[in-house]
Structure 1
């Protein structure tokens, strides 16, 4: 089936809704936000069974998410769109400044001191000197940082979102942005969850109400011709 962002990822709530209006982006009021593409998430587990379990995620990151995020960043810089990175990073070495969601046992137990290598953004997406980087100890990049103030101060109205994990920090950020009345675009092929099913399910849930789900090839068509 041919991809069409206006009809893709429709949940029960929106399967009979009219197609959304065309999107027109103004570079001066648009920002690209790349969430949590950090070294820790590219590390292959030592346990062979766990490595096999996560192999599809690592393949998607290497072959799809990181290349597409890099392309979005390059295009944003060329157009004068603000590039913002969010990364999980605690200010205290013992992580006591983390939110409860990042202290719970299991996958979401995240102890990533801000100056250590695991918390750094991956080399392929390294911030430029003019990029903004916010540190967060929450899932939402809006709730746990001064990003809300930064966006308002710069006159940003639309945020293009890429990164990981679709069903966790990406979704949490998107919902927060929508509640603050930002227009949000989530780039399907520049995001990933642990599994494709989780990724697709979350995009179906948030599309049309909290954001519009698009693909990288769509984004450039939303800007006026030079």
Structure 2
């Protein structure tokens, strides 16, 4: 089992996110418990490309300080929504014979959704802990509506197991 922390970059990790403080608290706890239980914590960063705000080499591209990776933790960079496409992550996990992944991070309706569905397609057993992913309002739905749509309707019993942080920590042991 590994803990995957997706796109928790400085530019987009802010209080515009739905349940921001709860998200930060839950993710910090999951990272801490994963480390305590000797689970690998793997980070993924999104690069929108040259000339964009979220671009490799900019301050906003780096991981949010409260989730900072340790020097021995892997970071994969991506240019599309799925953490598995073209990053080397899929090959890395298969080489290590990983079957179970805890998926966390940003944003629920973009990269988390794509990663959950692609993880399912690649045969991984995934867990999405409650309030360990989040998003912002868009012109169609509020951040809360997006969060609830994916976590409570779209993913559950189709693509992943959605459960509490406490239940997720229990699975780490």
Partner of 2:145: 197
Q: CA deviation at 1:167?
A: 1.3
Alpha-carbon deviations, 1:145-203, whole Å to 9, x = none? 11100101112110001111111100100100110000000112111122111100012
Q: 1:183 to 1:40 in 2, by over 3 A?
A: same
Alpha-carbon deviations, 1:57-99, whole Å to 9, x = none? 26x22x1111111111111111111100111125x634xxxxx
Partner of 1:158: 100
Where structure 2 has 5 or more consecutive residues not aligned to the other structure, the ranges are 137-142
Separation in 2 of the partners of 1:221 and 1:119?
Answer: 32
Does structure 1 residue 127 correspond to structure 2 residue 69?
yes
Partner of 1:84: 42
Where structure 1 has 5 or more consecutive residues not aligned to the other structure, the ranges are 1-29, 45-53, 95-109
Match runs of 1:54-203 below 5 Å: 54=16, 57=17, 60-61=19-20, 63-89=21-47, 93-94=50-51, 111-194=53-136, 195-203=143-151
Tell me the TM-score normalised to structure 2 length: 0.89
Q: CA deviation at 1:141?
A: 0.5
Contact between 2:53 and 2:60, CA under 8 Å: does it hold in 1? no
Separation in 2 of the partners of 1:74 and 1:38?
Answer: 18
Moved over 3 A (4+): none
Partner of 2:162: 213
Match runs of 1:18-29 below 5 Å: none
Separation in 1 of the partners of 2:107 and 2:171?
Answer: 25
Q: 1:175 to 1:38 in 2, by over 3 A?
A: same
Farther-moved stretch of structure 1 (110-119 vs 195-204): 110-119
Q: CA deviation at 1:113?
A: 2.0
Between structure 1 and structure 2, the one with the greater Rg is 1
Aligned-pair RMSD on alpha carbons?
1.6
Q: 1:209 to 1:222 in 2, by over 3 A?
A: same
Tell me the TM-score normalised to structure 1 length: 0.69
Partner of 2:11: 40
